[in-house]
Amino acid sequence: MAGRNTLGSLFGRSPIGPIQEHMQVAFEAAEHLPELVQASADEDWNRAKEIYKAIIESEKNADKMKRDVRRHLPKSLFLPVPRSDLLVLVGIQDQVANTAQDFASILMGRDMRFPEKLAPAVHELTQTSVACCGQALAAIQELDELLEVGFSGREVKRVEAMLNELDKLERRTDKQQFNLRRKLFKLEDELHPVDVMFYYRATALLGSLADCAEKVGDHLQILLAK
């Protein structure tokens, strides 16, 4: 498009591309979690280790990309949003990868296998939390289009609809997390207390993953309002 070509001729590579790529890599750290949970349920620890390595690699790549964006994002941008807001956005995106790694590290550090009575609820929460991250990524992928139209018009409405769907997904994780905690509470007397503590911690991290995705959407919503 003409607008994109004009931006490119003025500044070379758009600063938005690396921000979108960073969110893609952060999402890649999260999207491995359902298969990691399944591998632990199957007690396939060789498979789990391979998945864990992929998560670690994605988190490292996200960290590197975050530093690169912070170092190289131009200080003077003719854009509808301040440079500082874009830097904040990258920091929030990075929390997605960090939280995914934190959950994976607890799982692998303890060879954690959730009790069979909890397994369906854990899988459900994991899937929905990752879906939140995917929805946040989809919204961020529209950022360059939003810039082209000056954060106005039909594109804004389309992104707002995507963010509304993200909110719905995050609220679903709240309910799923509550239900999972209730199930765990009823099983506490049957389980080792230390295991119970880490089950609660792992569950909380899955909820935090969805919260991180929602924060990405919230910050994008702030950009839309400016």
Domain boundaries defined on the chain: 15-225
pLDDT digit string, tens, across residues 148-191? 776 677 888 889 999 999 999 999 999 999 999 999 999 999 99
d(CA 59, CA 65): 10
Give first-to-last CA distance, the chain, whole Å.
Answer: 24
Average per-residue pLDDT for the chain: 90
pLDDT of amino acid 2: 40
Q: Residues 225, 140, 88, CA angle at the centre, nearest 5°?
A: 65
pLDDT of amino acid 6: 39
d(CA 184, CA 122): 11
Q: How far is CA 182 from CA 109, 112, 178, 188, 190, in A?
A: 25, 19, 6, 10, 14
Cβ atoms of 147 and 80 closer than 8 Å: yes
**Among residues of the chain, what percentage have pLDDT more than 70?**
89
Taking 70 as the threshold, does the pLDDT of residue 80 lie above it?
Answer: no
d(CA 118, CA 199): 10
**CATH architecture type of domain 15-225:** Up-down Bundle (1.20)
Calculate mean pLDDT across residues 136-143.
94
pLDDT of amino acid 144: 82
d(CA 27, CA 77): 27
Lowest mean pLDDT among 4-13, 56-65, 165-174: 4-13
pLDDT of amino acid 11: 39
DSSP state of 188: G
pLDDT of amino acid 77: 60
Is 54 or 221 the better-scoring residue by pLDDT? 54
d(CA 125, CA 118): 11
Task: Look up tokens 């607008």; give the residue.
Answer: 3
pTM summary value: 0.90
Taking 70 as the threshold, does the pLDDT of residue 141 lie above it?
Answer: yes
Task: Look up tokens 């359902």; give the residue.
Answer: 34
Is 77 or 145 the better-scoring residue by pLDDT? 145
d(CA 87, CA 32): 26
